[in-house]
Amino acid sequence: MSSLLVDNIGELVTNVPAAGGDGPLGLRRGVALLVEAGRVVWIGPARYAPAADRRIDAEGGAVLPGFVDSHAHLVFAGDRAAEFAARMAGEPYTGGGIRTTVGATRAASDDDLRDTVHRLRDEAMRQGTTTMEIKSGYGLTVVDEARSLRIAAEVTAETTFLGAHVVPAEYAGRPDDYVGLVCGPMLTAAAPYARWVDVFCERGAFDADHARAILTVGQSAGLGLRLHANQLGPGPGVRLGVELGAASVDHCTHLSDADVNALADSATADGSTAGDGSTSGDRQAGTVATLLPGAEFSTRSPYPDARRLLDAGVTVALATDCNPGSSYTSSMPFCVALAVREMRMTPAEAVWAATAGGARALRRTDVGVLRPGVRADLMILDAPSHLHLAYRPGVPLVRQVLHNGVPQCR
């Protein structure tokens, strides 16, 4: 069995404080890391490093778990650059452009959609992302939702059925009929390719009753729950997600005190604590608040207040929301920098949220941390510390990525 040693590490972010690391990120210095068969098998003082078949010299760079991007919409055709330009000139974001992308996606070939998914997945990987959730939601017919998920499943196990993105034009004025389609034949066709079900619970999309119906039937079909909630205004989404035991409620831009309390109570009940990394992560029943600052950047909206959530004890994740309308970025480093500058997160909190937090949002214990036994998904930075991800925004600091222990070509 071939082994690979990563050494000359400037700083190792483990996200495992209990292992003797320093602070919430479980920082360790002077250590090396051994990979075998796609797994981390040893971390210890570099001077005791075992012999290995191959070696990667980190050249004093920081080594972090690969980013876990727990919210992305990659199966689409076309772009909406003109809509972005209009927003920057003062137009508001309403989500109405989703139907434009639905038209383009339905008209695209499987290979065109596949090319886009691969291009964006590769783009994300070059920036350190090693786990990526991918949603459907631009097909909105039985056939187009199933093929979107089939294509997404070619590159990730974290696939999400978002048939309830908006009511498509052919069902205008008949939302109940469309929800019936989503809960019936569309779910049946999509479920074999999906791990999760999601609903855009927002005025102009789906109300709480529709969201509850879709999530409940999705859960009965064996899917885990997630929700787009409280993005464009206050609403019932966050509390519905907590009530139903969703793994994550995403956006969380407009929150009442009751929303924050509900999220905090779910984190406490679960034993996890607010992104401080102090638990093993083995019990993951709480609902994570996944914040998507790329969307606020690209829609020129106020950013969510991460500090308020963290101070209340809520578990926070960061993700890109990569999509052609509200957030056309695949860059987790960009989201980390925005979270630090605009959302009152410390650099350590933002890095934790983009790695271990994303893993919590996907209820995964094998990624987002570095300790023996987990998947060897990691990045090596051209910088000595994780601080540089926010300190040097816009700079391509990710020098090397290992995915399942395999060095990725740049």
Q: Taking CB under 6 A as the criterion, which residues in 47-106 touch ligand NIG?
A: 95, 97-98, 101
Q: How far is the CB of 160 from Fe ion (least distance, A)?
A: 10
Q: How far is the CB of 262 from ligand NIG (least distance, A)?
A: 21
Sequence-separated (6 or more) residues with CB below 8 Å from residue 359: 68, 70, 131, 281, 365, 367, 368, 369
Nearer to ligand NIG by Cβ, of 97 and 139: the residue is 97
DSSP state of 24: T
Q: Taking CB under 6 A as the criterion, which residues in 304-363 touch ligand NIG?
A: 321, 323-327
# of chain residues touching ligand NIG (CB under 6 A): 14
- 324 within 8 A of 82, measured Cβ to Cβ: no
Cα 41 from Cα 181, distance rounded (Å): 47
Cα 34 from Cα 40, distance rounded (Å): 6
Q: How far is the CB of 323 from ligand NIG (least distance, A)?
A: 5
Rg for the chain, CA atoms, rounded:
20
Which position has the token pair 């540089």? 388
Residue 301 annotated as binding site: no
Q: How far is the CB of 200 from Fe ion (least distance, A)?
A: 8
Cα 158 from Cα 208, distance rounded (Å): 25
* Residue whose beta carbon is closest to ligand NIG: 325
DSSP states of 323-380: BTTTB----HHHHHHHHHHHS---HHHHHHIIIIIHHHHTT-SSSSS-STTSB--EEE
- Does 295 sit near ligand NIG (CB under 6 A)? yes
Nearer to ligand NIG by Cβ, of 21 and 241: the residue is 241
Q: How far is the CB of 255 from ligand NIG (least distance, A)?
A: 16
98 binds, among Fe ion, ligand NIG, none (CB under 5 to 8 A by kind): ligand NIG
Nearer to ligand NIG by Cβ, of 45 and 302: the residue is 302
- Does 196 sit near ligand NIG (CB under 6 A)? no
Cα 144 from Cα 140, distance rounded (Å): 6
Separation of first and last alpha carbons in the chain:
25
Q: How far is the CB of 135 from Fe ion (least distance, A)?
A: 7
Q: How far is the CB of 275 from Fe ion (least distance, A)?
A: 21
Nearer to ligand NIG by Cβ, of 248 and 400: the residue is 248
Residue 230 annotated as binding site: no
Residue 228 annotated as binding site: yes
Return the residue of 193, 196, 200, 206 that touches ligand NIG, per CB under 6 A.
200
Nearer to Fe ion by Cβ, of 10 and 204: the residue is 204
Cα 239 from Cα 29, distance rounded (Å): 41
Three-state secondary-structure class, residue 264? helix
**Interface residues with Fe ion (CB under 5 A)?**
321
3-state SS, 191-249, equals HHHCCEEEEEECCCCECHHHHHHHHHHHHHCCCEEEEEECCCCCCCHHHHHHHHCCCEE
Cα 406 from Cα 410, distance rounded (Å): 12
Residue 326 annotated as binding site: yes
Nearest to 73 by CA among 143, 152, 155: 152
**Residue list, annotated binding site:** 71, 73, 80, 138, 165, 228, 231, 321, 323, 325-326
Binding-site annotation, residues for 4-imidazolone-5-propanoate: 80, 138, 165, 231, 326
Q: Give residues in contact with ligand NIG (CB under 6 A).
A: 95, 97-98, 101, 200, 228, 231, 295, 321, 323-327
Binding residues for Zn(2+) are 71, 73, 228, 321
